[in-house]
Amino acid sequence: MADLVTERGGISVLVCGDEGVPIASTQDALDVIGSAFFRADIVAVPVGRLDERFFVLRTGLAGEIMQKFVNYRIRLVVVGDISGHLAASTALRDLVAESNRGNQVWFVDDLGDLDTRLG
């Protein structure tokens, strides 16, 4: 599936396809933000598009990418099963729990969960 802008819960969402360019740097994140700019308020990125370093917090990649989305006022939703990463990292579990309490970055299992949060 290609990246597609759709409406979910009355909000425009850029749903990134599984087979797109991996997001492995802040420049990659900026490219996705650029694709969403003026078209979508939320970017939903499948877990498979994120470089593995995103889930290893000591690399700083997750913080850098999340900050870019915050700076550009576009919400980021990471979509997919990250249970293996969560089991390996207390810090990541804490980040996910804190993020999901807010409104800027969410981690959801699937797009149905995103719909529920937007509902």
Containing structural domain, residue 47: 4-109
The 3-state DSSP composition of the chain as helix, strand, coil percent (nearest 5) reads: 50, 20, 30
Which pairs count as long-range contacts for 3-9, CB under 8 Å and 24+ apart, including other chains?
3/35, 5/36, 5/39, 5/40, 8/42, 8/111, 8/114, 8/115, 8/118, 9/115, 9/118, 9/119
**CA torsion angle for 63, 64, 67, 68 (degrees, to 10)?**
-150
Digit-coded pLDDT (tens) for 64-81? 999 999 999 999 999 999
Looking at the domain assignment, is residue 18 inside a domain?
A: yes
Residue 1's pLDDT is 67
What's the structural domain count of the chain? 1
Looking at the domain assignment, is residue 81 inside a domain?
A: yes
Residue 114's pLDDT is 98
